[in-house]
Amino acid sequence: MTSVSAYRVYRTRCCHVVLEEPIYSSSNSTTQFAGITNGICECGLTFVFEDLEFVGIKKMTVGDLALLGIDEITIPSVMRIK
């Protein structure tokens, strides 16, 4: 099973667009995932991954689930652990 454990946060140097690259956790140690590749910024300039500025790591917490709307999901009583 694979899930996102955190995000590496980068910023373009031209117009400071923030890009988030997922950090995946997998029970399969041979699983590999592609990250941020070269692209075009919002200002129209092209960027390469090596030119991005590393900002930090963003880790999801239980409090962030409310922002995603997950706390609004109703679990039927037959599926709840008692």
Each residue of 34-81: pLDDT tens digit?
678 888 888 889 988 888 999 998 886 665 555 555 556 666 677 666
At 10 the pLDDT is 92
pLDDT band, residue 7 (cuts 50/70/90): confident
Instruction: Look at residue 19 and give its three-state secondary structure.
Output: strand
Closest CA to 52 of 37, 67, 66, 30: 37
pLDDT at 4: 75
Among residues 71, 61, 66, the alpha carbon closest in space to that of 6 is found at 61
Q: Tell whether the model's pLDDT for residue 82 goes beyond 70.
A: no
Q: For the residues 17-45, what does the mean pLDDT come to?
A: 80
Q: How far is CA 72 from the centre of its chain?
A: 21
Q: What is the pTM of this model?
A: 0.63
